[in-house]
Amino acid sequence: MPHSQLRENAQRHLFPHFTPGRVWNDERLPILVRGRGAFLYDERGDEYLDGLSGLFCVNIGHGRDDIAEAAVTQMRELAYWTNWGSAHPAAIEAASLIAELAPGDLETTFFVNSGSEAVESAVKFARQYHRSRGEGQRTKIIAREMAYHGTTLGALAVTGIPAYKAPFGPLMPGVFHVPNTLGEAVPEGGTAADLPSIRAIRELLEREGGDTFAALFAEPVQNSRGSLVPPPGYWQELRSICDEHGILLVADEVITGFGRLGEWFGSTAQGVVPDLLTFAKGSTSGYAPLGGVIIREPLARALWDSPEGGTFAHGATWGGHPVATAVAAANLRALRDEDVPGNVRALAPDYRAGLDAIRAEHPSIREVRGTGFFHTIEFTGNRDTGRELTPEESADILTRVIPEAMRGTRLITRPDNRGATMLVLAPPLVSDTAVLGRLLDSVDLVCGAVDARLG
C-alpha cells in the first residue's frame, strides 16, 4: 500500500489512544513498519531510536526471531485454550518461570491481558480474599496522588490523575489517595516513618478505620509525575503498616517488572515482598498482550480453602492465552539467559552520569529523576533564577518544541504533562553503550531546543 494511503487510512479508520486529533491528523503522522534492537523504521526506511521501549514494553528489544518463532510454534500446536478447569503447557511454563523470578513466596500467577486488567484483578482478589475470611467490610483502597494504575473503571478509580477520571465518573467509591513521595527525604536523625506521605497513610487509617481497607497500591518507582524513586525505608514502612492493619500490599510493577530497574522486580530493589504484584508490559517485551497478578502462595491457598467454595470469581476469555504465554516464556528465558537485568545494572551508573551532565548544561532542566533504565527530565523556566514556566510555555514545549526536536534527531519518546512539563526516557534493556550514547546525544539536542525557545 502506498505511504500516503497508509496514513490516510489510519487517520480515517483507526481511532487512537490518548492522542489529540490534531496530532493524529498531522500529515507527518509516523507509520512505523519494522523494528530491530533499539531502533524503529518507518515506511520510508528512516531510522528512529526507541527511547521509550515502545511504551515501557520492549525490554528485550525489537525484532527477535526466537520470540516470533515461539509464537508460530505455539499457534501450530495449540492456538487457543483457557485456564478454566484445565491448563496447557505454555501457561504452566510461563507461570513457573515467573515464580522462579519473583521475590519471596509470590508463586501463583493469575493471567490477564493488560496492566489495567491486572490492577482490576488485584482489586477483586483483595476484596474477595477478605470476604472469604469473614471481613466483608474491607472494601476500601489506598493509592497515591498522580499515580497511574490503568483505565478500566476499577483501575481508573485507583488511578490518582484527576484529568483521566473526570470524563467517566462517578467511579468506584472507597478509594483514597494519599501524597506521593515527590520531594521527600528522610529527615536528619529520623526514619522513613517521619515522611509526610507515610504519616498521611497512618492518619487516613486512624480516621477511616484500618479494618475497612482491603489493599494499598503503589509502584516501586512511580511513573506519573516523573519517575519518583522513594526515600530509603519507605517501602518497609508500607509493609509494616499493611501488616499492622491486615491490609494487602499491592506492588504495581507493570513498568518496573522484568528488569527495568536492574532487578527482576522493583519490589526486590526495594527489599520488600508485597502480597500481590501486578505486571504486564515487560513480561512479553510487547511481542504479545499479557498481564497478570502474582499472588503470595498462602493467600491463594487461603482463598481456595475458604468456606465460600474456593473459587476466585473472576476470569477472561484470553487470560493465559497459549500464544501470549508461549511468548512470555521465550522472552523470560532470553532475559534470564542473556542476563539483561545485569546489563541494566552495569550501564545504569554511566547512563545516569550522562543525564546529570546534560542537566548541568541546560538551565531549562529542573531535575533528573529515576533509576536503572527509567528516568524523567523535568523542565522549568530557568533553574538558575528560579523562574517557573508559564502555562503557555509549558504547552508550547510539550506540543511543539519537544516533538519538533525529536523529529529532527529521530528520537521517539514521551513528553509528559501529568503534573509538570517532562520528558520520559526508558530505552530497551538490551541497549549498549553506543545506543545509550546516541540517546544522550539526542536528549541533549532536545533540551537545547527547549533552552533556545525559552531564550
Instruction: Work out the angle at residue 259's Cα, subtended by the Cα atoms of residues 255 and 262, and round it to the nearest 5 degrees.
Output: 115
Instruction: List residues bridging with 291 in a β-sheet.
Output: 112
**C-alpha cell of 345?**
545494572
The size of the chain, in residues, is 455
Q: What pLDDT was estimated at residue 27?
A: 85
At residue 236, the 3 state secondary structure works out as helix
Q: Which residues of the chain have pLDDT under 50?
A: none
> Residue 384 has what DSSP assignment?
T
HEC per residue, 272-330: CCCCEEEECHHHCCCCCCCEEEEEEHHHHHHHHCCCCCCCCCCCCCCCCCHHHHHHHHH
Query: Which of the listed residues 337, 356, 385 is the one where a domain comes to its end?
Result: 337
Determine the 3-state secondary structure of 38 from DSSP: coil
CATH code at position 171: 3.40.640.10
The answer as to whether 9 is a domain residue is no
Pull the grid cell for residue 276: 500481590
* pLDDT tens digits, 213-269: 999 999 999 999 999 999 999 999 999 999 999 999 999 999 999 999 999 999 999
Using alpha carbons, select from 145, 183, 185, 181 the residue that is nearest to residue 165. 145
Pair 75, 152 in one domain: yes
How many other CB atoms are there within 10 angstroms of residue 188's CB atom? 5
User: What pLDDT is stored for residue 23 in this prediction?
Assistant: 84
Same domain flag for 379 and 306: no
What is the pLDDT, as a whole number, of residue 299? 97
How far apart, in whole angstroms, are the C-alpha atoms of residue 237 and residue 212?
19
Supply the DSSP symbol for 194. Answer: G
Residue where the block lists cell 521501549: 53
Q: Is residue 10 part of a domain?
A: no
State whether 113 and 233 are in the same domain: yes
Query: Same domain for 185 and 282?
Result: yes
Q: What is the DSSP string of 90-142?
A: HHHHHHHHHHHHSSTTEEEEEEESSHHHHHHHHHHHHHHHHHHTT-TT--EEE
Query: Does residue 272 share a domain with residue 221?
Result: yes
**Residue 204 sits in the same domain as residue 267:** yes
> Which cell goes with 20?
489529540
State whether the Cα torsion 69-70-76-77 is positive or negative. Answer: positive
Q: Would you state the pLDDT for residue 417?
A: 95
Which domain-ending residue is among 337, 352, 372?
A: 337
Q: pLDDT at position 335, please? A: 98
C-alpha cell at 66: 526466537
User: Are the C-beta atoms of residues 294 and 102 closer than 8 Å to each other?
Assistant: yes
| 358 falls within a domain | yes
Query: Do 230 and 353 have their domain in common?
Result: no
Report the greatest alpha carbon distance in the chain. 68
For the chain, what is the domain count? Answer: 2
**Enclosing domain of residue 245:** 66-337
CATH of the domain at 404: 3.90.1150.10
CB-CB neighbours of 434 under 10 Å: 9
Same domain? 305 vs 359: no
Residue 117: inside a domain: yes
SS3 at position 450: helix
Q: Are residues 216 and 83 in the same domain?
A: yes
Q: Evaluate whether residue 134 is within a structural domain.
A: yes
- Integer angstrom CA distances of residue 137 from 208, 210, 244, 282: 12, 11, 17, 35
For the segment 99-137, what is each residue's pLDDT rounded down to a tens digit? 999 999 999 999 999 999 999 999 999 999 999 999 999
155 and 56 both lie in a single domain: no
CB 449 within 8 A of CB 402: yes
Q: Please tell me the predicted confidence (pLDDT) of residue 29.
A: 86
Whether 20 is in a domain gets the answer no
Rounded to whole angstroms, the Cα distance separating 165 from 170 reads 9
Q: What residues contact residue 42 under an 8 Å CB cut-off, 6+ apart?
A: 30, 31, 32, 33, 48
Final residue in a domain of this structure, among 303, 337, 371: 337
CA distance 455 to 93: 56
C-alpha cell at 431: 541497549
The residues with which 321 forms a beta bridge, in sequence order, are: none
In a domain, 159, yes or no: yes
Q: What is the pLDDT of residue 308?
A: 72
- What's the pTM value of the predicted model, to 2 decimals? 0.96
352 and 444 part of one domain: yes
Residues 341 and 333: their CA atoms lie apart, in Å, by 12
- CA separation for the pair 51, 427 (Å, rounded): 5
Same domain, 42 and 145: no
Domain membership flag for residue 14 = no
